[in-house]
Amino acid sequence: MASFDQVYTHKGWFGICPVWLADIDTDCPAVWPRYGLQFLLGASELLYGGMIWLLTAMNPDAEPLFPIVITGELRRPKVIRHD
């Protein structure tokens, strides 16, 4: 698999995890945990995934959304190489 560079331009929160965000004007923005807090990103995914599963089980017509909050733009974009 090829590696690629992702340019993160904004910061924010995904549930309880602070994140960097890229491609925020698309349907699927890139999200990367700040400060090496991958375990918080996993915990947020687990928590909200369970809530969405329960919501759609009770109401099949519900449109689930993940809670991504954009708090600002980075002064300098952060480039991370993903392998």
* pLDDT of 44 above 80: yes
Rounded to two decimals, the pTM is 0.82
Q: What is the residue range of 26's domain?
A: 4-82
How far apart CA 78 and CA 21 sit, in angstroms, is 10
* pLDDT of 66 above 80: no
The pLDDT tens digits for 20-29 are: 999 999 988 9
Number of independent structural domains in the chain: 1
Please, are residues 9 and 73 in contact by the beta-carbon 8 Å criterion? yes
What per-residue confidence (pLDDT) applies to 83?
85
Q: Pseudo-torsion of CA 55, 56, 59, 65, nearest 10°?
A: 70
How far apart CA 77 and CA 24 sit, in angstroms, is 13
